[in-house]
């Protein structure tokens, strides 16, 4: 018989994803509570762990599924990630781990890990120096390439800029002092699109294509989602990318170069899946809950805390 008491689903905006997850865990006999990391606190006097999580005052949760870390100051994000690191230290399974979240939120870290693992990704340069960035831009455009400038912590396709020959770089303040430049993947003749492959527990479970009106194909930017078959080369690449960042689950953005080569653009360690669910027969929340249960809860409750 399961000795799991309750797990926490970390999110500030439970909404659709929270409801789907709570129901999916319920179906597995696991009670879950939605918790906002911004409402958790450190209190060394409160209990032997020094952590207070609303709804879990006298115990730690049996696991934490990280669904969202709300935007905040550097200090707020550091505190919230610190709480997740500490929970893992105290033996609580945290999925995705704080380490995997850190590695995927920082686009430069993701790029380095992908390259180190030999996973195809466009040439990328990251520097605090505007003159370095200018030199890269000039070199790339002279060679006939365009370049994408991205916020290091960007999401949902916001703040992306495509630069070509003769374009000026924005000043350092606009990019928070860091220039993340990536060679633009020119679309194939049949138009631009990208692929989102959702990987859980090392396996691709659902895929879609996203096609926007411009070159940024994010659902949040109005891209149209269409169901896609799980093409073996894309799935394999996505699964390797998720392993490279050490995530349990992730949404991987991929593109095909004009010659058909698949490239990983990004790994999202806190992916939303409402758009993907709308075109997928697979119940993604259920797959995620089942993975979390089988991988983390089935063994974790045998460890005494
Ligand atoms: N190097 C590139 N070449 C061509 N298109 C790109 C390139 N990088 C990004 N794009 C387009 O812009 C979109 C957004 O870029 P990316 O996924 O890197 O950041 P993001 O979506 O803002 O971050 P997140 O996925 O974490 O929300 C991609 O899905 C793709 O459509
Ligand atoms: Mg993306």
Nearest CA to 256 out of 239, 280, 275, 231 is that of 231
3 confidence band (pLDDT: 50, 70, 90): low
pLDDT on residue 222: 86
Q: How far apart are CA 253 and CA 250, in angstroms?
A: 10
| Distance from Cα 265 to the centre of ligand 1, integer Å | 6
Q: Examine the pLDDT at 1 and tell me if it is beyond 50.
A: no
Q: Examine the pLDDT at 143 and tell me if it is beyond 80.
A: yes
Q: How far apart are CA 23 and CA 61, in angstroms?
A: 18
Closest Cα to atom 10, ligand 1: which residue? 216
Mean of pLDDT values over 164-169: 93
Closest Cα to atom 17, ligand 1: which residue? 266
Q: Examine the pLDDT at 123 and tell me if it is beyond 50.
A: yes
Average pLDDT taken over every residue of the chain: 93
| Distance from Cα 253 to the centre of ligand 2, integer Å | 6
pLDDT on residue 61: 96
Q: Examine the pLDDT at 301 and tell me if it is beyond 70.
A: no
| Distance from Cα 242 to the centre of ligand 1, integer Å | 17
Residue whose CB lies within 8 A of the most ligand 1 atoms, among 101, 242, 263, 266, for a mutation test:
266
Q: Is the CB of 110 under 6 A from ligand 1?
A: no
Give the CA distances from residue 242 to residues 18, 22, 117, in Å, rounded to whole numbers and listed in that order: 23, 25, 11
Q: Examine the pLDDT at 2 and tell me if it is beyond 90.
A: no
Q: Examine the pLDDT at 155 and tell me if it is beyond 60.
A: yes
Q: How far apart are CA 5 and CA 2, in angstroms?
A: 8
Q: Which residue has the tokens 């770089």?
A: 169
Tell which phi-psi region holds residue 52, choosing left (phi > 0), alpha (psi between -120 and 50) or beta.
beta
| Distance from Cα 110 to the centre of ligand 1, integer Å | 13
Per-position DSSP letters for 123-152, written without gaps between them: -EEEES-HHHHHHHHHHHHHTT--EEEE-T
Q: Is the CB of 240 under 6 A from ligand 1?
A: no
Q: Which ligand is nearest to the CA of 149?
A: 1
pLDDT on residue 299: 65
* Least confident segment among 15-19, 70-74, 138-142: 70-74
| Distance from Cα 231 to the centre of ligand 1, integer Å | 20
CB atoms within 10 A of CB 89: 10
- Residue of 110 and 3 predicted with greater confidence: 110
* pLDDT more than 70, % of the chain: 96
pLDDT on residue 5: 77
- Is 141 in contact with 147 (CB distance < 8 Å)? yes
Q: Is the CB of 269 under 6 A from ligand 1?
A: no
Q: Is the CB of 155 under 6 A from ligand 1?
A: yes
Q: Which tokens in the block code for residue 58? A: 């006298």
Q: Is the CB of 140 under 6 A from ligand 1?
A: no
Mean of pLDDT values over 192-202: 95
| Contacts made by residues 167-174, CB under 8 angstroms, sequence distance 24+ | 167/137, 167/141, 169/130, 169/133, 169/134, 169/137, 171/130, 172/128, 172/130
| Distance from Cα 129 to the centre of ligand 2, integer Å | 25
Mean of pLDDT values over 6-29: 96
Q: Is the CB of 256 under 6 A from ligand 1?
A: no
Q: How far apart are CA 300 and CA 4, in angstroms?
A: 9
| Distance from Cα 254 to the centre of ligand 2, integer Å | 9
- Residue of 192 and 53 predicted with greater confidence: 53
- The model's pLDDT over 49-71, given as tens digits with 9 standing for 90+, comes to 999 999 998 899 999 999 999 99
pLDDT on residue 57: 81
Q: Is the CB of 11 under 6 A from ligand 1?
A: no
The reported pTM is 0.94
* Least confident segment among 22-26, 90-94, 188-192, 205-209: 188-192
Closest Cα to atom 13, ligand 1: which residue? 216
304 confidence band (pLDDT: 50, 70, 90): very low
């Amino acid at each position: 018989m399961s000795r799991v008491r309750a797990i926490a689903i970390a999110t500030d905006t439970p909404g659709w994803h929270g409801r789907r997850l709570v129901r999916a865990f319920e179906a597995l006999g696991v009670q879950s509570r939605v918790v906002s990391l911004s409402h958790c606190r450190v209190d060394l006097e409160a209990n032997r762990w020094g952590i207070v999580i609303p709804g879990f005052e006298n115990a730690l949760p049996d696991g934490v599924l990280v669904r969202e870390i709300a935007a905040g100051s550097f200090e707020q994000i550091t505190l919230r990630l610190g709480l997740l690191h500490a929970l893992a230290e105290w033996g609580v399974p945290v999925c995705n781990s704080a380490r995997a979240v850190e590695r995927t939120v920082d686009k430069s870290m993701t790029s380095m890990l992908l390259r180190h693992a030999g996973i195809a990704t466009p040439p990328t340069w990251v520097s605090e120096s505007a003159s370095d960035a200018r030199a890269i831009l000039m070199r790339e455009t002279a060679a006939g390439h365009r370049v994408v400038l991205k916020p290091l912590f960007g999401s949902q396709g916001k703040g992306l800029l495509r630069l070509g020959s003769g374009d000026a770089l924005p000043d350092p303040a606009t990019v928070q002092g860091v220039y993340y430049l990536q060679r633009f993947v020119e679309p194939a003749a049949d138009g631009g699109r990208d692929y989102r492959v959702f990987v859980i527990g090392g396996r691709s479970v659902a895929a879609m294509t996203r096609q926007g009106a411009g070159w940024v194909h994010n659902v949040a930017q109005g891209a149209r989602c269409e169901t896609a078959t799980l093409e073996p080369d894309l799935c394999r690449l996505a699964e390797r990318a998720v392993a490279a960042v050490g995530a349990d689950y992730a949404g991987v953005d991929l593109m095909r170069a004009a010659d058909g080569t698949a490239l990983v653009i990004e790994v999202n360690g806190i992916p939303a899946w409402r758009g993907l669910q709308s075109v997928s027969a697979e119940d993604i929340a259920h797959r995620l809950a089942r993975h979390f249960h089988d991988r983390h809860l089935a063994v974790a409750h045998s460890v005494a805390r």
